[in-house]
A and B are shown apart, each in its own frame.
Chain A
Amino acid sequence: DAKTTQPTSMDCAEGRAANLPCNHSTISGNEYVYWYRQIHSQGPQYIIHGLKNNETNEMASLIITEDRKSSTLILPHATLRDTAVYYCIVRVASNQGGKLIFGQGTELSVKP
């Protein structure tokens, strides 16, 4: 079972920041937080991941609380193309590859 809890859906106005929350209260010390998104009729796409510190890349920022029990994915200037299902995943550390266990995700609708 997925170890994360996300809202089922969210709306965001085009050009505004989209803040997607995720709860992972049972996360272990060696588990990373990953975010993927899935645009309709496409395969999931990696966005960002982090362990303890906040992370930023060209797509998004990831804010992880100090106790690591929750995180927020921030899309700073949402566009219509950001409409997708966003998955927050806690990934087990393994030398043979940590399994990605997807939950239901958050369906983000960016509106004009």
Chain B
Amino acid sequence: EAGVAQSPRYKIIEKRQSVAFWCNPISGHATLYWYQQILGQGPKLLIQFQNNGVVDDSQLPKDRFSAERLKGVDSTLKIQPAKLEDSAVYLCASSLSGGSLDNEQFFGPGTRLTVL
């Protein structure tokens, strides 16, 4: 079974530039998550989708971050404009359904973003 795919794996940009990350979840997984992991800390949830609807985006800095999952499969996370403090690893995860506690989350390898 293929895992969660993310691209690119690494990205270096200058502050005030824009960047986009892509995620392809495990086939059949209805729930998709984006996490931000700053160096030395645990991952922090940015946004959760159930199919193509947003379940939780309370921690998403909406003035600069946006995410979409138009067809309920792939998802993109965008930052515009980037700030130095956005340097982090952006992790995508998916699960069969958000509705059951037994549905573990499967994580992708992440995209390491460096903002100069």
Contact = CB atoms under 8 A, between A and B. Distances in A.
Interface stretch (A11-19, A60-68, A73-81, A102-110): A102-110
Contact of B93 (A43, A98, A101, A105): A43
For chain B, what secondary structure do more than half of its interface residues adopt (helix, strand, loop), or is it mixed? loop
A10 interface: no
A44 B107 contact: yes
A99 interface: yes
Contacts of A2: 42
A41 B89 CA distance: 9
Interface residues of B, number: 27
B101 A44 contact: no
B41 A100 contact: no
B42 A102 contact: yes
A46 B4 CA distance: 14
Contacts of A101: 45
B55 interface: yes
Interface in B51-83: 55-56
Contact of A97 (B4, B43, B50, B108): B50
Interface string B17-61: 000000000000001000000000111110010100001100000
A46 B93 CA distance: 11
Most buried by B among A99, A104, A105: A99
Contact of A96 (B43, B98, B102): B98
A104 B107 contact: no
Contacts of A96: 50, 55-56, 98-99
B22 to A, nearest CB: 15
Interface of B: 4, 31, 41-45, 48, 50, 55-56, 91, 93, 95, 97-99, 101-110
